Structure 1
Amino acid sequence: MLIKKMMRDVWKNKVQFLAIFIMAVLGALIYAGLNCEWFTMKNQADAYYEKTNLADIWIYDEALGENDIEKIKAIKGVEYAEGRFVINGSEKTTGNSTELQLNFVTDGKISDVLTQEGDKFSNSKEGIWIDYQYASANKISVGTKITISVRGLEITEKVRGLILSPEYVYNVKDDSEMIPDHQKFGYAYLPYSIIENLGINTYTEILISADEKSVEKVKKNISGNFSTVIDRNTYPSVTALNNEIQQHKALGNIFPVIFLAIAVLSILTTMTRLTKSQRIQIGTLMSLGFKKGRILRHYVSYGFFISLIGGCIGILIGQSVIPKILFEIQKPIYTLPSWDVKIPTFNFIMVALIVLLCTATNYFACRKELKDVPAETLRTLPPKTGKHNIIENTKIWNKMGFNFQWNVRDICRNKIRTLMAIIGCLGCMALLLCAFGMNDTINNVGDRMYNELFKFQNKVIFKEDADINEIEEYNATLAGQLIQEENIEMQYGENKKNGLLTVDSGGKCINYENDEGMLKKLPDTGVAISYKMSKLLGIEKGEKIKWRIIGDKHWYNAEVKAFYEMPIGQGICMSTDAYQQLERFKPNAMLIDKKISSSEVNDSVVDTIKSKDEFIDAFNSMLDTMKMIVLLLIVFAVLLGIIVLYNLGILYYTERFREFATLKVLGFKSKRIRSLMVSQNIWLTLIGAILGIPIGFLVLSYMTNTLGDNLDMTPKVFGSSILICFTGTILVSLLVNLLLANNIKKIDMVSALKSIE
């Protein structure tokens, strides 16, 4: 009997229960979708690293030998160590200007590779194993012979297999690249014997596998003996993927909270109204012998089943749809052997939390009506004693119109419904503002970086072995701006960070700006440091920073003379005068503020030329995932606004049904009554939208702070975006309320005012 009653009640109040259901679906969908996406990437990457025994520590130095390896193996906590020789070479077989990073491997027990096609890699077999993505882009197959030019020597080997390496999940040539170009750059693995035959018997890298608990101790033990020592936390490929995962993890945790909060408030208002309207039915059930506990379970089950079904459906849709959409954007950037979706256990915990909160809210909303004895419950609940609010005691009250007085009193009598309306509109506005703000922030960063800070049209990358005199002559011919870019390690106190050093010869191709305006030139001594890097290191102007080029043992001390803003690529900048007090200036790139014709390309020194448009395209591609999430947020925010406002409109109409009928009897026109209903909801929408603006800014700030160490995005929301969000929220409210206000015409005054029997 109670089940049939529940079905009738749900159908009779279908709009309110549908709103709760959709809130549960959306909250679970967003949570499950975004968390499933980052969890899959983390899970697949961890499995990949474990299967291939990714190195725990990497050592970079010149002329490393077997003696170094034996000393490292003797350190407590080290499980194994092996050397390899790594060098870049030009691959000539494809006919294109391509480059391969060659790894000449001794053992292959650490950072092993996964074979996708052909033979499994072995250092005892002759041949070359090629990056699977590079091979696919250049149509290289197993069995093909390829020729690679290295330092004037040519190596010709047969392709034995196509592979994936855990060290190249994010495979870019250098810091000037943001998106992998698999057609132009890849990697290859070869037996160490091949490089030995060319007269080389040293290593450039040593890979260490260490006990998980001992990694930090081992790293500290060997750091002073070699040029560069890094672990997984600072290895570029691992760091890039981890930063992406952390961004999406933060997004997946914050937005479902808004939907869950509104679902809980919806349950509270709906069930409070339902139990009040069914007070006599509850008294009848108690009189018929139904225990209070059973009646309570009956009403509590409304929230339990709706939230359970909604949460389960949301999770099923979320983890099936959202990860696949986002993975299509991630696959060109990150290379993992598998993208099969992995479902985290905490997705189901989220459903349990939704059910628990909705059920608990339902319980507290219903138990009040069960406190009285049956005889008392069978009586109609007397109306609340009217209380004068603060405004009524002021002189302004009597000057206000009927609409104002009616709505103020109604708001004061129904505080929970009012709170829900405000929070619903607040959530809608905050989500919209955050979504539009993120879009504005991304567009502003791109525009500022490539139109205001970077004035060059082309960036020329020089060959590693290019003669410095030829470079200077070429620069004089094209009136360019020479720069030297190096990956460096920086230290201040206990804080260490990797970043980018830019040595600038001066010119108009790069503008350096800070809070005080444009820097006329870089300091003649010391360094300028990017704002983001200064915050990461905790360093202030006038203090000294230690830095060294990765691969160099020598540390330099330099005073921080200035700050500058840099959206992408955090680090330090130096003038050539300041740098040449420490080292010789060796430019490896040139910036030009004009287009370069093919006749102006000097093949003896030029490696590649990148246009500004290529940098902009790479920047946009890097943030495609964020843009997709922004689009999802806009869709969900609009849905949130429609559902909440429609639910509140129905609730308001149902609660005021008899009062509206009374007003009609007293001669009020439907248009006048409709204005009462619409005006109150517009008031609450305005309050919610205004309060949603600072909340939206807070959420946006939180999002931009999760973008990793390399990006420095200042939250930016254009006035037009605030206006669109604000107007959109008001329009949604107005349209929903106008739609519901038409019900005023359908009120049957006789049945509405009929005495309760």
Structure 2
Amino acid sequence: MKNKTYLKASFREIWQSRGRFIAIILIILLGTLLFVGVKTTGPVLNTSGSDYLEKQNLSDLQVISTGGLTEVDESLLKEIPNVEVESGYQFYYADEEKGEVVQVFSYDDAQKQNQLVVEKGYLPKADNELVLDAAAEKLGYQIGDTFTLDDSDQLDKKEYEIVGFVNSPLFISNKDRGMTNVGDGNVDYFAYVPVKNFTSDIFGVLYVTFDNVKGLNTYGSEYKDLMQKNQELVEEKFVDRPKQRLAELRSMIEDEIAPAKKEIADGQTQISEAKEQLTAAQEELDANRQLLAQLPEAQAAAASAQLDEVQKELDENKQTLTEQETKLEDAETEVSDAEKEMADLKMPTYLFNQRTENIGFQDYGDLSDRIAAIANVFPVFFFFIAALITFTTMTRMVEENRKEIGTLKALGYSRVEISQKYVIYAVLAAVIGVALGVVIGTNTIPRIVFELSSDQYNFQKVSVFYEWGPIIQAGVAFLFATLGSVIIVLIKELTEKPSTLLQPKAPKPGKRIFLEYITPLWSRMSFNQKVSYRNLFRYKSRMIMAIIGIAGCTGLMVAGFGIKNSLEAVTDKQFGPIIDYQAVVTLDDGSFDQTEEILEKNSQINSTLPVINEVLELKKAGQATQSVTMTVPKDVKDFSSYLHLSSLDGKSIDLTNDGAVISEKLADLFDIQVGDELTFYDEDQNEVKMKVQEIAQNYLGHFVYITAEYYEKVTGKEYQNNSFLLKTATMTTKEENSLAEQLLATDEVKNTSFLSSQIETQKGMINNLDPVVLIFVVLSGLLAFVVLYNLTNINISERVRELSTIKVLGFFDKEVTMYIIRENIIFTLLGIVVGYGIGYVLTGFIVRQASMESIIFPLVIHWPAYVISAVLTITFTIIVMIVTHFKLKHIDMIDSLKANE
């Protein structure tokens, strides 16, 4: 009965102090919500993407060859156990009239891999039907329109009816469709045409799926490790295939020209024989003409007419023979050209592209990785602040009940029985807060991030699940913060005697504070101001906790804005301060006279610089192989205006013949120091050894810069530029595309890449994090509000006798409110200042954690971040001030001032 009554009293007290109880739950809820929600977002995004790709049966590997693919290649893949192989056709088509580039794929309704998602209409049923990319609908195409693909080398039909718009798992991004070497170099959309319309016997691509990775998260390490082994197995199968394919191509050409060679030989024999016959006939005709003089005039005239007819026939035969000789010469030229083509054939290159090579795949994975990196720092700090405030609140709550604990001890209650109330209070608050935080956080934050980034990617739905690791961590941490704080204080309080507990704690002795020694300042303060400052320094622990709580929340808001500022700063720091050119023209093999002429005549191009751009590889055991762009300028002096190289301490760098300048992130990844010798590998896996002359500041990508002389020394090759760097006036997208089309039309240029496109792509990737940053700021603001309210509430409950006393002494309501709020204002201002420092340090730590293998995020926080964070914190203080004012007006002075019984 005794315990039952005490239990009821315990729940009654929870209800009576529900404001504090709800505040504790809210703090725990917010901490858990952000911690679990953000920690779950990365895995949820990855799983959602993986589920979509699994559902559409995206191929694990695509095999592409510069020499085309045949049934021999397909049979090699089928020799590997537990694989599915499907062949397909693909090519790029440039519509010059519309200025559009289309990537055309073959569609086969029997094909299982890379299943299309129909957005409108239906998939092709007849040979004269096709479906277009859903992105093409935005360009004005409609179902029922006639679509023209005029490429007789690839297709046997020109006109098709559009019957639907689709998304393909080959293209995860809704914004980017890749690049090509036709048109303006950028693919606008794709099309799927029934496979029966393709005329070639050579496949464009082979799609491969592996049984050993089915069901695995495509962004997970297990999938990546197994796919690396699968790719190595495929590469082993194809190790001799390039040589074989080269022989096949030469054999095909030989087979094609063999009949022509035979016809040419036969024709030459026939022409030679015909020439001899015509010569003999001509000689006979000429001899007969000489005999005409011996005939009578009448007979001579008749014979002459006959001879003229024969001569006419001979001339016609000669003319026919001349035409045959011309045809024969043309045939010989064609055969010669074919033989030259055969001699010039290069070894085909086989490319084995995993899913990571698909358009948008890596960008989406990077988004998840960045969120995961941020989740390792930001929510943890948020969580720490929430747990700290919870610990403080629970500690003070138990200390307030000293008198009740003493009474219960005096009545014979055991320590366990007395503790029961506070344990229930702590456990109930923790369980409710954590449970609500887990449910709300898991079901809101991942969904919000997914929905707000859905316009960037074509994933259909989010696959939300509970990530038990963060949930358990949150549960344990908040149980420690609540239950742990209760146990710690109870251990201290329960060891004291009932008589001691029944007596109120002696107030802290008054002492002179530091400000009192500054007489000119202290003497000008009002009585209320002096009281406030004395109370601040008298109860230092209260002041420290308040400042820590407010500073933590302000710092979190600053960090939220700072993360966005820092991520956005990559493009601002890289393009302009470092890279100071606007385009790169990549040349094909051979001469480039027409290209130079176009660049010289274009008035929007201010200057050009010939360079060598090559992709090298840097390898190290235990470190992922990195692709490095090597740039070799023809003229070092001109290069300094295109690229501004600075050392890590900010000093300008000039290229010399003594070594290479490498980018900062590359040096960091491979632990490279100035003076080290590096071994790079070119596209043929030949070693290229270079000495590190200097390490340069760089934020995006891996680069190595060397002079032309040093290039010739380390590679043994003669310098021949394969690219041009362009400095241009500001150009519109239309003008950029027009220039790219002109250059590609020369057949001297592989691609023209404008940095404006790269900047837009980078900004798009950063914008994907906007919802995450917004969530951080909003939840940090909410936590700041709850912390301020809770601390103020505790402050009032601890000092209710003091406040009642000054009300009895005649203080007005506003004066009583300012008695408390003046302290809050000081706490807030000090918290904001300290919070700025915390936010700066926290942002720096987060951006270092969020940096990727090829990206460094600079630490940048713009002034609005500080202003908005301060304004929000002050706004919450004002709200708390208003609530506090009405609460203080209703203090029961008589009840509060009762003497201790």
Same fold per superposition (TM over 0.5): yes
Give the whole-Å Cα distance in 1 for the aligned partners of 2:13 and 2:367.
47
Report how far residue 586 of structure 1 moved.
3.1
Match for 1:493: what amino acid? K
Q: Following superposition of structure 1 onto structure 2, how do residues 319-334 of structure 1 map, counting pairs within 5 Å?
A: 319-334=442-457
Partner of residue 473, structure 1: 597
Partner of residue 898, structure 2: 754
Partner of residue 44, structure 2: 40
Report how far residue 168 of structure 1 moved.
2.5
User: CA, structure 1 residues 165+702, in 2 after alignment: closer, same or farther (shift >3 Å)?
Assistant: farther
User: CA, structure 1 residues 296+748, in 2 after alignment: closer, same or farther (shift >3 Å)?
Assistant: closer
Report how far residue 546 of structure 1 moved.
1.3
The CA deviation string for residues 372-401 of structure 1, in whole angstroms up to 9 with x for no partner, is: 69x927962342485899x98999699996
The one of 395, 403, 411 equivalent to 2:539 is 411
1:376 aligns with 2:377: no
Give the whole-Å Cα distance in 1 for the aligned partners of 2:706 and 2:155.
38
1:567 aligns with 2:711: no
Match for 2:743: what amino acid? V
Give the whole-Å Cα distance in 1 for the aligned partners of 2:367 and 2:231.
26
User: CA, structure 1 residues 393+36, in 2 after alignment: closer, same or farther (shift >3 Å)?
Assistant: closer
Report how far residue 318 of structure 1 moved.
3.6
The CA deviation string for residues 392-414 of structure 1, in whole angstroms up to 9 with x for no partner, is: 899969999664883366325xx
Partner of residue 103, structure 2: 100
Report how far residue 623 of structure 1 moved.
1.8
| Contact 2:363–2:765 (CA under 8 A) maintained in structure 1 | no
Report how far residue 734 of structure 1 moved.
7.2
Give the whole-Å Cα distance in 1 for the aligned partners of 2:800 and 2:89.
79
* DSSP-derived class of the 2:134 partner: helix
| Contact 2:547–2:828 (CA under 8 A) maintained in structure 1 | yes
User: CA, structure 1 residues 84+459, in 2 after alignment: closer, same or farther (shift >3 Å)?
Assistant: farther
User: CA, structure 1 residues 473+273, in 2 after alignment: closer, same or farther (shift >3 Å)?
Assistant: same
* DSSP-derived class of the 2:102 partner: strand
TM-score (norm 1): 0.78
* DSSP-derived class of the 1:89 partner: strand
The one of 638, 650, 663 equivalent to 2:781 is 638
Give the whole-Å Cα distance in 1 for the aligned partners of 2:569 and 2:735.
33
Q: Following superposition of structure 1 onto structure 2, how do residues 328-407 of structure 1 map, counting pairs within 5 Å?
A: 328-339=451-462, 341-345=464-468, 349=472, 352-353=475-476, 356-361=479-484, 363-364=486-487, 367-368=490-491, 371=494, 376=498, 380-384=502-506, 403=531, 406-407=534-535
When Rg is computed on C-alpha atoms for both structures, the one with the higher figure is: 2
User: CA, structure 1 residues 207+537, in 2 after alignment: closer, same or farther (shift >3 Å)?
Assistant: farther
| Contact 1:484–1:586 (CA under 8 A) maintained in structure 2 | yes
The one of 167, 172, 183 equivalent to 1:169 is 172
Give the whole-Å Cα distance in 2 for the aligned partners of 1:342 and 1:627.
23
Give the whole-Å Cα distance in 2 for the aligned partners of 1:651 and 1:719.
34
Give the whole-Å Cα distance in 2 for the aligned partners of 1:101 and 1:503.
36
Give the whole-Å Cα distance in 2 for the aligned partners of 1:726 and 1:135.
47
* DSSP-derived class of the 2:790 partner: helix
Match for 2:782: what amino acid? L
* DSSP-derived class of the 1:544 partner: strand
Partner of residue 569, structure 2: 444
Partner of residue 338, structure 2: none
* DSSP-derived class of the 1:383 partner: coil
The CA deviation string for residues 544-585 of structure 1, in whole angstroms up to 9 with x for no partner, is: 241435xx6656555544444443344445667777846743
Partner of residue 721, structure 2: 585
Give the whole-Å Cα distance in 2 for the aligned partners of 1:691 and 1:590.
48
1:22 aligns with 2:149: no
User: CA, structure 1 residues 94+366, in 2 after alignment: closer, same or farther (shift >3 Å)?
Assistant: farther
1:430 aligns with 2:555: yes
Give the whole-Å Cα distance in 1 for the aligned partners of 2:191 and 2:618.
33
Q: Following superposition of structure 1 onto structure 2, how do residues 93-242 of structure 1 map, counting pairs within 5 Å?
A: 95-100=98-103, 102=105, 112-116=114-118, 130=131, 132-138=133-139, 146-148=147-149, 156=157, 158=160, 164-170=167-173, 172-174=176-178, 185-188=188-191, 197-198=199-200, 200=202, 207=208, 209=210, 211=212, 215-220=227-232, 225=239, 231=354, 237-242=360-365
* DSSP-derived class of the 1:168 partner: coil
Give the whole-Å Cα distance in 1 for the aligned partners of 2:150 and 2:612.
24
The CA deviation string for residues 241-283 of structure 1, in whole angstroms up to 9 with x for no partner, is: 2221111123345444344434433443333333344444455
1:652 aligns with 2:795: yes
| Contact 2:133–2:191 (CA under 8 A) maintained in structure 1 | no
| Contact 2:88–2:106 (CA under 8 A) maintained in structure 1 | yes
1:531 aligns with 2:664: yes
* DSSP-derived class of the 1:490 partner: strand
The one of 514, 520, 530 equivalent to 2:646 is 514
User: CA, structure 1 residues 490+612, in 2 after alignment: closer, same or farther (shift >3 Å)?
Assistant: closer
Q: After the TM superposition, which of the residue ranges 651-660 and 595-604 deviates more from structure 2?
A: 595-604
Partner of residue 620, structure 2: 493
Report how far residue 317 of structure 1 moved.
3.9
| Contact 1:504–1:575 (CA under 8 A) maintained in structure 2 | yes
Match for 2:114: what amino acid? D
Q: Following superposition of structure 1 onto structure 2, how do residues 57-96 of structure 1 map, counting pairs within 5 Å?
A: 57=61, 61-63=65-67, 79-80=82-83, 82=85, 88-90=91-93, 92=95, 95-96=98-99
| Contact 2:88–2:206 (CA under 8 A) maintained in structure 1 | yes
| Contact 2:708–2:719 (CA under 8 A) maintained in structure 1 | no
Match for 1:26: what amino acid? L
Structure with the higher helix share, 1 or 2: 2
Give the whole-Å Cα distance in 2 for the aligned partners of 1:598 and 1:182.
13
**Cα root mean square deviation, aligned:** 5.1
Give the whole-Å Cα distance in 2 for the aligned partners of 1:277 and 1:605.
81
Q: Following superposition of structure 1 onto structure 2, how do residues 729-740 of structure 1 map, counting pairs within 5 Å?
A: 729=873, 733=877, 736=880, 740=884
Give the whole-Å Cα distance in 2 for the aligned partners of 1:583 and 1:208.
43
User: CA, structure 1 residues 663+602, in 2 after alignment: closer, same or farther (shift >3 Å)?
Assistant: closer
User: CA, structure 1 residues 419+232, in 2 after alignment: closer, same or farther (shift >3 Å)?
Assistant: farther
User: CA, structure 1 residues 659+604, in 2 after alignment: closer, same or farther (shift >3 Å)?
Assistant: closer
Give the whole-Å Cα distance in 2 for the aligned partners of 1:189 and 1:573.
43
Give the whole-Å Cα distance in 2 for the aligned partners of 1:481 and 1:12.
78
| Contact 2:52–2:460 (CA under 8 A) maintained in structure 1 | yes
* DSSP-derived class of the 2:662 partner: strand
Unmatched runs of 5 consecutive residues or more in structure 2 = 214-224, 240-348, 523-529, 746-750
1:605 aligns with 2:607: no
Give the whole-Å Cα distance in 1 for the aligned partners of 2:641 and 2:153.
34
Report how far residue 474 of structure 1 moved.
0.9
The CA deviation string for residues 657-680 of structure 1, in whole angstroms up to 9 with x for no partner, is: 223455677899988877764565
Q: After the TM superposition, which of the residue ranges 305-314 and 16-25 deviates more from structure 2?
A: 305-314
- Give the percent of matched residue pairs that are identical in Structure 1 and Structure 2: 21
Structure with the higher strand share, 1 or 2: 1
Match for 2:792: what amino acid? G
